[in-house]
Every structure is written in structure tokens, then in C-alpha cells.
Structure 1
Amino acid sequence: MMATLSEIRTVIDRHTTFLVTTHEGPDGDAVGSSLALAHYLKSLGKDASVYICDPVPDAYAWLPMADQVLGTLPDRDYEVCFVLDVGEFKRTGKEITSSTRIGSFVNIDHHPDCPQFGALNLIDPQACATGAIIYRLIKESGATPDYATSLCIYTAIVTDTGRFSYSNANPEAFAITGELVTQGVNTWDVTEKLFESQPKARLDLLALALADLTVSPCGEYGSLSVTLDMYEKTGGTAELTDGFVNYPRSIRGVEVAIFFRELAPREFKVGFRSKGKVDVGAISAHFGGGGHHNAAGCKVNGTLDEVKDLVFAKLRQTR
């Protein structure tokens, strides 16, 4: 059932042990909102842990409590599991979906097509980030986020809005982050850690990806690709490819950017970004994925050329 902030607050008041989790391949909103909620629960004297099926990317490892994120689900019971920003339940990983030691799930998200899989569900597609909903939850209780929590929420919002450049950078995004700055968040310090401290391997990987830059004959679609062979050549990893999709999107005339990332032989993660004219959430759904109107992703099997052909053929149908 859909829930209010007040109802979720009641769940927090009535229980003691909490698990917080998010999606595979966690981004800034996933990590930031999860850590923010865990900080808040701990400030209330609750027993709270964060579990993520994939490691926290280095870009967010400096956040308070990031070093305490669990990579394996403990052999213990939890009364409530908060599932944040996942889009769909299976993205939490098999340890969560198959667990018999979790009492109930509370689903908090801003993906418009997120199913109501929780006992309580708070899904607001108008929220700039899931971190913004966590901020609302804290304020609902009459509390003000402390510095550590503020840092995590700020990171969630600044990354999910593309440094306030995406269409989801709404008035609430600026209002919340303005309040967080009053709590001591240093905007340059966060920017430097997130965007000005990249390893050389990322640029080496980007150089190879840019060599594969493709723009469709109509000029409306552009793509980059990263293969397993590129990782081997550069020593780079998948987490270093965050943001690569923005390069083809920056080309004049390109309406949809696509990033093909090889997960395993004949298996690719396909990320889409739209400037607004094309609903890439619908395109992603066609391939079994999900997401927003302007940002979505899916997995497609085949060789790189086969996957490209399938995706570009679907895009041509939208013209």
C-alpha cells in the first residue's frame, strides 16, 4: 500500500532493528540516501545496518559510515528493511529477495514505474532524488539532519541532478541543499571529492570509449561502449564509467545518448539518457529494464554489434 511520511515514521517508532539497502551498481543517490537514513535511525537509538549487494564505489567511499556498509547479509533477523531507490525489487540482489529473516519491507523511491512491493510504499516521481524523500522523512519528525546526514543527502541530490543541471533539479532540490549548506556542508569540498579526484585509469578508459563514439545518420542518437577488453587494457573497472553516457549526450543535435557496458561475454548493460523528447524509460522497458523518462537502463544479450542493432532499431521506431 502507498504510505505517508507519518506512517513510515510510525514504523520507525514501533521497531528497533532495521536494515537499509539499495540497488546493485549503487550510484550517488543510492549510497547517499541509504547512509543518510542509517545515520538518522542510529541517531534515534535504533539498531541500523546498511547492506548493498555491490561494493560502494570509490567516489562515495569518503561518506560517513561508508566503510561500515555490509557486502554480505548477516545471519540475523531484522524487523524492517528499508529498500531505497531500486526501481524494482530484484535489483537489491538475491540475498535480499530470498531472505526469510526480514519482517517487512518499506519501499522508498522516486522511479515512476517502481512496483509497490513493500508493506509500505512511498514513491514520488516528482522528488529530485530518493535522498530528498529521506530529508522529508527526517523533517517530518521535527528533527534537523546533523552534519553527517546532511553530507549524505547533499551527495544524493547533487549527483542525481547532475550537479543541478538535469530536469529533476526542481525548486525542492535547491531548497533542501540550501538548508544542508547551513548545516555545514562545504559545496566545494563535496565537488572536489566527487568530481575532481578521479584516477588516471578512468581517463584511460574514457579515451578508449570515445574512440568508439557513434552518432546515428539522423544525428539524434549517440553512443559509447566499454568492453571487457578495455578494462583489461587500462586496469579500469565498471564503477569508473559513471558519467560516460553524458559525452554523446553533449553533442549538438543528439536527443538520446546510449552507453553500452559489457558485463560478461554476450551480456551488456545499456544505459539511456534523453534530453526530453524521447521517453527512454519506455524504450528500456521494451528490453525488460526500467527507469525515468530521461534516464533508464536495461540488460541486452548478444555481441556488441547485435546489441547496438537492436537498440538503435528500437530508437528509430520512436521517430
Structure 2
Amino acid sequence: MIDAILSTIDRGQRFLVAAHGNPDGDALASTMALANALLEMGKEVVAYNQDGMSAELAFLPGASMVVDSLEANESFDAGFILDSGELRRAGSHLKDHCKSLVNIDHHPHSENFGSIYYVDESACATGALIYRILKKAGHSLSLPVATCIYTAILTDTGSFRYSNANPEAFEIASELVSLGVSPWDVSANIYENRPEKQLRLLTAALKTMIISDCGRLGAVSVTEQMLAETGTGPEHTDGLINYPRSIQGVKVALLFRQTDKDCFKVGFRSKGEVNVGDLARQLGGGGHHNAAGATLNGDLTSIQDMVFSRLQNLLP
């Protein structure tokens, strides 16, 4: 598959690089890693995300080039869709702008769209796949590209704490640091550069925390009213789920985020004993064994009761 990707790059001149909406660190950092590398190869590149570049990742080299819309007549020789699982998560309309699509992902059950399907569930992050592609191409990793790849791996492995922090993750990170990437600078930008309003939202969210009677499920919630009162947006909810997850005895943590009057996005984080990816897919969503999500309709209490019941049946 990598050879086919390199052939696509060689033949084309104008490329689209996109990732899923409501993007996490891997999605945006992988986008910027590939976009910067293609520019260095002399290609024309448009980096796209339907929700734009998040403020906490605006330090990434080239972040200002990310756009959240495309002109109706824009055309690309190929579109690289990263970390998306399904094309609709990045934008189904993107196929209308591209002569071909390349799916690069590490999510299980990733949709087989496009002409090239490069999916490896064993990869720690999509950023690791971008690294493999660039190494096979013989492309010398510049500091901007290295910084983006390091950020992708750092964020998707939970600062090398999650089970996907495999040997390859550390091997790549070691090489990138040797090329000049500063772990301190990257970590400080991600974890020590939060706006005050995000901490106000955290305060409100923690007041909603509930723990199941068995002590193995924990959850926090964010409503539209909470976002409005704190002047925050969906991007400021990133990391909230880690608070119930950090509680002793909790095996699965959840974040319920309201997106409409009777609609909530549910994020799942497992410590390994429960496959939340399977449950999320049953609920119409998707994700990994330990990290997944789904969108559910109904009032918050009913959704929480249903999800907790489903999870309790999965607990060992």
C-alpha cells in the first residue's frame, strides 16, 4: 500500500489532506505532518478540517494553512483522508473534489473507501503511518514534520501511557527527538497552555460526575448551557473524560456532551477489560478497544441509564 501511495504522490501535483471533524491531536498533527512534507516535495497542498484548527494545537508548524471549507470548483489529484474510520467523519463531499481518495488510518473496522486503503490497527497513531510513508519515500524529516509526527504519537498514546504505546511509538519518538523535537515544548503547548474558560468548564463538568454503584463506571457530562455559560466550545471538552477515568476502581469512563436539544455525543475510555469499540459500533459509532464514541438521541438521564446498563453487562 505504501508503494501505491508513493506512486500517487509522484503522479500528482495538487493534493487535499483531511481528517475527521472534532479533531484530536493525532488527526490534526498527522494532517500537518503530511501537508508539510508534501509542500517540501514541491506539491500544492490544501489542509482541510471541517472544524478547523484547534487553539491548543495552533503551535503546530503550518497550522495557519488549515481551512474549514472548500470552493465548489476546487479539484485535487488525490485526497488523503486521515484517522477518520469513515469518510463521512471527514466529509462525504470530499470525494467530489478528488480524482482519487487514499484512506490512511489505524482504527479497527475502518471503512474501505477510496482507491487506496492503508489501515494498520497495530499502529500507535495515524502519525506513525505518515512516518512510515515518508521514510519509505526517502524523504528527510524536517523539524516541522518531525514535530507534527511526535505530537500525533504523544497525544494518541496519552503521553505514552496507553496500551498503544508500543515499541514502534518509542522508536519513532526517539528518532524525532534526535532530530531536534523538544518534548518539553510540545508537552507545554498541549498541556500547559489552556485558556481559563476551559478550567471553568472543567469545574462545571466535575459537578456532574456520577459513579456506578459497583464503582467501575464513571462519567461526566457537558450541556449546551454549560458551554454557553463558560464561553467554551466542543474543543474545550478534550481531556475531561480522563478525570473519571483516573478514579481508583473505575474500569470505563464516559463523557456525555450535548450537541442538540435531545442529542448527545458519548465518549468511552476503557482501561482494557471492556471493549468499548464493540459497544460503540453497536450504538452506531466506532473506535478502538479502549477509546470509542457514538452519538445518541434522547434525554441525558435516559441515555446514561441505557449506556450504564449496557456496560455493566460487559464488565467481567
Give the Å deviation of 1:236.
1.7
Work out whether residues 73 and 95 of structure 1, in 8 Å CA contact, stay in contact via their aligned partners in 2.
no
Give the Å deviation of 1:304.
0.8
1:7 aligned residue: 4
Amino acid of the residue matched to residue 106 of structure 1? V
Amino acid of the residue matched to residue 218 of structure 1? C
1:250 aligned residue: 246
1:241 lines up with 2:241 in the alignment: no
Give the Å deviation of 1:94.
4.4
- For residues 101 and 203 of structure 1, the distance between their equivalents in structure 2, rounded to whole angstroms, comes to 40
1:116 lines up with 2:112 in the alignment: yes
Equivalent positions of 1:104-143 (< 5 A) are 104-143=100-139
Amino acid of the residue matched to residue 164 of structure 1? F
Amino acid of the residue matched to residue 135 of structure 1? Y
- For residues 5 and 271 of structure 2, the distance between their equivalents in structure 1, rounded to whole angstroms, comes to 34
3-state DSSP class of the match of 2:96?
coil
Give the Å deviation of 1:143.
2.1
Amino acid of the residue matched to residue 24 of structure 1? G
- For residues 51 and 236 of structure 1, the distance between their equivalents in structure 2, rounded to whole angstroms, comes to 23
Gaps of 5+ in 2: none
Equivalent positions of 1:181-200 (< 5 A) are 181-200=177-196
- For residues 302 and 91 of structure 2, the distance between their equivalents in structure 1, rounded to whole angstroms, comes to 27
Give the Å deviation of 1:56.
1.1
Equivalent positions of 1:1-319 (< 5 A) are 4-74=1-71, 75-96=73-94, 99-319=95-315
- For residues 33 and 94 of structure 1, the distance between their equivalents in structure 2, rounded to whole angstroms, comes to 20
Aligned length: 314
- For residues 69 and 253 of structure 1, the distance between their equivalents in structure 2, rounded to whole angstroms, comes to 41
Gaps of 5+ in 1: none
- For residues 96 and 113 of structure 2, the distance between their equivalents in structure 1, rounded to whole angstroms, comes to 16
- For residues 237 and 24 of structure 1, the distance between their equivalents in structure 2, rounded to whole angstroms, comes to 14
3-state DSSP class of the match of 1:82?
strand
Give the 4+ runs in structure 1 shifted more than 3 A: none
Deviations 1:248-305 (A, max 9, x none): 1111111100100111111111000000000000110111000000000010011111
